[in-house]
Amino acid sequence: MTSSDLTGAGDRWIPQDEYNFIKAHVPILSVDFIPLSHDQPPRVGLIRRETYGGDYGWCVVGGAVLRNEPLLDAVDRHIRVTLGNAVEIDMEAVHPIGVIEYFTEPDIGEFYDPRKHSVAPTYFGRCGGSIRPCGEAIEFRWFQLEELPALDFGFGQQNLITRLVRARAFG
Q: Per-residue pLDDT tens for 56-105?
A: 999 999 999 999 999 999 999 999 999 999 999 999 999 999 999 999 99
What amino acid is encoded at 139 in this protein? E
CA angle in degrees (0–180, nearest 5) for 13-29-12 = 15
Q: Average per-residue pLDDT in the chain?
A: 90
- pLDDT by residue (tens digit) across 123-143? 999 999 999 999 999 999 999
**pLDDT exceeds 60 at position 5:** no
Is residue 141 included in any domain, yes or no? yes
Is residue 4 included in any domain, yes or no? no
Range of the domain at 34: 13-166
Domain CATH number, residue 73: 3.90.79.10
Can you tell me the distance from the alpha carbon of 133 to that of 137, in angstroms, rounded to the nearest whole number?
A: 5
Instruction: Burial-class residue 113 by CB neighbours within 10 Å (0-12, 13-18, 19+).
Output: buried
Is residue 78 included in any domain, yes or no? yes
Is residue 81 included in any domain, yes or no? yes
Residue 111 · residue 102 · CB < 8 Å: yes
Domain count, the chain: 1
- Answer with the residue of higher pLDDT: 168 or 34: 34
Is residue 8 included in any domain, yes or no? no
Q: How many CA atoms lie within 13 A of 77 on its CB side?
A: 20
